Amino acid sequence: MSDASIPAALDGLLEPLSRCLDAESARRVIDFRVAPAVQARVELLAEKANDGTLGEDERSEYEAFIDATELISVLQLKARRQLENDGS
């Protein structure tokens, strides 16, 4: 799978899941924020990535954070659309 098809694949995967959300659950997904300690770790890894000093394990960890963030972002978008479509 090419990098360009990843968002489309996520869309197809998460669309049916987003239809399972009731209005309260959709709002909670939209309001989700990363814990400050996790955000601090991501920022540290981002700095190291920009500096070119990430170790192999850190690179894997950072890439996992990026992947998770993309997944969460798509799900939040779908939750917003679900609320808009339901008129909530």
DSSP track, 32-88: ----HHHHHHHHHHHHHHHHT---HHHHHHHHHHHHHHHHHHHHHHHHHHHHHHHT-
Q: How confident is the model at residue 1 (pLDDT cuts 50, 70, 90)?
A: very low
Tokens of 65: 């954070």
pLDDT of residue 59: 96
Could you tell me the residue range of the domain that residue 53 belongs to?
3-86
Q: Say how far apart CA 22 and CA 1 lie, in whole Å.
A: 32
Lowest mean pLDDT among 10-19, 21-30, 49-58, 75-84: 10-19
Q: Say how far apart CA 88 and CA 79 lie, in whole Å.
A: 11
Into how many domains does the chain fold? Answer: 1
Q: Say how far apart CA 51 and CA 67 lie, in whole Å.
A: 21
